[in-house]
Amino acid sequence: MNEPIIKIRDLHTSYGKRKILKGINLDIYPYETLVILGRSGCGKSTLLRHIIGLNAPDRGEIIMKDVDVTKASEEKRDEILKRIGMLFQNGALFNSMSVGENVALPLLEHTPQDKSIIKIMMRMKLNIVGLSGFEDFMPSQLSGGMKKRAALARAIAMDPDILFCDEPSAGLDPIVAAGIDQLILKLKTALRMTIVVVTHEMASVFMIADRVCLMHDGEIKFLGSREEMKKSTIPYVMQFLERRPDEDRLDPENYLEELVA
């Protein structure tokens, strides 16, 4: 495979005394779809926030296109950010703007194009996600799935090289969620992007992933293709695939002590 587009080296971070990421090493290659999988609280969203520069790590490097985003100057980081798109968990559309204005915003701010051209580009993006004709709607007038689609249109407005999605199917019914997954697949082939998806949905994983990265407790437990994952004998991977809950460890003596302490 060719040179990775994102290189993460020995990434550590913590909230207060709690360690969230314990030395993450990960390469993401151009044009692949990598799914970062893990249960709630395993640090997968935190990892994503670090990659896009919203949080700063305790130590470690994140090299995106030969620039270390953890140490880059604001100008350099802005240049990189203009080449990536991010789909937030709840869409994060600007509620004070219409859907069309939301999608057009990055174009208006970062491209010298004329307003009429930007309007056409905005309509194209809305068309791709299946929301033609909704440009004058306010985000509050849209359903959950439509909001995600609109947010996706905004994320791809600048034709990014890398698209990040945080829990794209969270809070959606299975049919709408599958629709979003399908859309991500369609975008991948149509726009040739590298896509990084954070999720805990196994269904999404088997639909869109080229490679899967399973995280647990701030560490990467497994990294490989879908098929490799299915065949894996790592206990935690098997537990995840079989949807087995953690075993309750009942220790009568400890329990008594905890209560009295």
Partner 1 sequence: MADLKATAGQSGRSLAFFFVHVARMARLTGLSLIWIFVAPFKGKKLRWGVTFVQMVRIGVESVPIVGVISFCVGLIIAMQAADQLEKFGATIYVADLVSVTMCRELGPLITAIIVAGRSGSAIAAEIGTMKVSEEIDALQTMALNPIGFLVVPRLLAMMIVVPCLTILSDFVGIAGGFVLALTNLKLAFIAYFNETAGALYAKDFITGLVKSFFFAIIIAQVGAYQGFNVSGGAEGVGKSTTTAVVVSIFLVIFADLMFTMLFYSTL
Helices (H), the chain: 44-51, 74-81, 99-110, 115-128, 144-155, 174-191, 202-208, 226-231, 235-241, 252-260
Give me the sheet containing 6-15, strands edge to edge. Answer: 18-28, 6-15, 59-64, 67-68
User: Considering beta carbons, is residue 85 or 218 the nearer one to partner 1?
Assistant: 85
* By the rule CB under 8 A, 182 interacts with partner 1: no
Choice from 39, 54, 71, 174 touching partner 1 (CB under 8 A): 54
In terms of phi and psi (left: phi > 0; alpha: psi -120 to 50; beta: otherwise), the region of 14 is beta
User: Considering beta carbons, is residue 43 or 160 the nearer one to partner 1?
Assistant: 160
Question: What is the DSSP pairing of strand 162-166 with strand 194-199?
Answer: parallel
Stretch that binds partner 1, among 10-18, 49-57, 183-191, 197-205 (CB under 8 A): 49-57
CB 29 within 8 A of CB 194: yes
User: Considering beta carbons, is residue 14 or 111 the nearer one to partner 1?
Assistant: 111
Count interface residues toward partner 1 (CB under 8 A).
23
User: Considering beta carbons, is residue 93 or 207 the nearer one to partner 1?
Assistant: 93
- Could you say which residues in the range 74-93 bind partner 1, by CB under 8 A? 77-79, 81-82, 84, 86, 88-90, 92-93
Question: Using CA atoms, how far apart are residues 197 and 163, in angstroms rounded to an integer?
Answer: 8
* By the rule CB under 8 A, 113 interacts with partner 1: no
Q: Which residues bind partner 1 (CB under 8 A)?
A: 49, 52-54, 77-79, 81-82, 84, 86, 88-90, 92-96, 105-106, 109-110
